[in-house]
Structure 1
Amino acid sequence: MSLAFLLTSLIVVASPGTGVLYTLAAALTRGSRASVAAAFGCTLGIVPAMSAAMLGLAAVLHTSALAFAALKWCGVAYLLYMAWQTLREQGALAVETDVDARSAGRVIVTGFLINILNPKLSIFFLAFLPQFIATGEAHPLLRMGELSAVFMAMTFAVFVVYGLFAAAVRDRVVSRPKVMRWLRRGFAGAFAALGARLAFAEREP
């Protein structure tokens, strides 16, 4: 495992995006357990993108305008739905004092959907991972699977750190209605902005 791969992956994973945003939201409103569930869901959402890249399906998204647009607009709609739910004090920023198995399951499913509905993720894997596979590699798919597993492990670890940090200050935030109101607006705006960015995303040439 090259140092270049590890450093590049860390930069990509740690960069704020929909997964980080959702994990922080879950931590602030539901606590540390929910933040771990969110991190797990977002990490699980990488599996379809990784599998698509390994099977060559990402190449279809890369070349087919219709396939790319269909998945992209589903992702945009879901992010805008997240923004609306957040403003309504439901969804990502609905405060819950007790997180049971059913609630944790919803957090995981939402995190999974956030990543699976991003077509750029599949294309990222198709463009990113092959750079770290030697030309003469005897088992390229196996090597790609190993790199993907490391990337997923790093994603989960970094998201958990983000989430636990946010959960540590949760009591100070949740107990202040004015702060929560502005947080909801900020998170809703961020989800909407990410949706807008995805809406203007184009297939790589």
Structure 2
Amino acid sequence: MSFDYLVTALVVILLPGTGVLYTLALGLSQGWRASAFAAFGCTLGILPHLAAAIAGLAALLHASAIAFQALTYLGAAYLLYMAWSVWRDGSALQLSGQRQRLRPARIILKGVLLNVLNPKLSLFFLAFLPQFIPPATARPIAAMNELALWFMALTFLVFLGYGVCASAVRTQVARRPSVLLWLRRGFALAFASLGLKLAFSRL
């Protein structure tokens, strides 16, 4: 395990994306426990992409434009659905005492789907992981598995940190309904922009 890998992985994970937005939204609306479930779901969602990259399936996906585009559009549609849901449903970011609590299983499932339906992750890991495997490594697959586990651990910890920070400012946000409204709209627009970006992505 190289220090360069840990730093690079940390920088990649810290970049705002769908998982970060989802975890922040749950931290603001439901508290740190819900954000922990969201972080767990998003972490589980990258597991199929890591497995695909390690097994070489990502290369096959990259070679098949039809398969890639189908998964791309499915992921984009789900992001747009998330955007529409957050924009339409005020309870998604409702901080009052009467807010509806989401079940942990539902939170985790949404987090998993957000990352599973992003085909770019498979291609990213296919290009990313081999860069940190020395050519003379006797067991490259085992080495890639170790790197993958570290990436998942870092993902969970970083996302959990985002969620805890978001939950820490819930009280201040709750006192300002206009801030809450714009936060909800901001999350919706962010999900929509990421969905459109994914829909128009090219190989």
Aligned to 1:123: 123
Partner in structure 2 of residue 22 of structure 1: 22
1:101-112 counterparts in 2 under 5 A?
103-112=103-112
Counterpart position of 1:193 = 193
Deviates more, 1:52-61 or 1:79-88: 52-61
Distance apart, 1:174 and its partner CA = 2.7
Q: Which whole-Å CA distance do the structure 1 matches of 2:108 and 2:100 have between them?
A: 12
Query: Shift of residue 116 of structure 1?
Result: 0.3
Pairwise CA distance, 1:103: 1.0
- The answer as to 2:43 corresponding to 1:43 is yes
CA distance in 1, matches of 2:100, 2:188: 22
Give structure 1 regions of 4+ aligned residues with deviation exceeding 3 angstroms. 90-100
Q: For the Cα contact (< 8 Å) 2:18–2:194, is it kept in 1?
A: yes
Cα distance in 2 between the residues matched to 1:193 and 1:129: 28
Q: CA RMSD in A?
A: 1.7
CA distance in 1, matches of 2:66, 2:90: 33
Query: Contact 1:89/1:184 (CA < 8 Å) preserved in 2?
Result: no
Residues 132 and 110 of structure 1, relative CA distance in 2, 3 Å threshold: same
Whole-Å separation in 1 of the counterparts to 2:107 and 2:25: 11
> Using the alignment, how far apart are the partners of 2:137 and 2:20 within structure 1?
34
CA shift in 2, pair 1:91/1:104, >3 Å = farther
Rate the CA distance shift 1:123–1:94 in 2: closer, same or farther, 3 A. Answer: farther
TM-score (norm 2): 0.94
Name stretches of at least 5 consecutive residues in structure 1 with no aligned partner.
none
- State, as a whole percentage, how many aligned pairs show the same letter: 57
* Length, aligned pairs only: 202
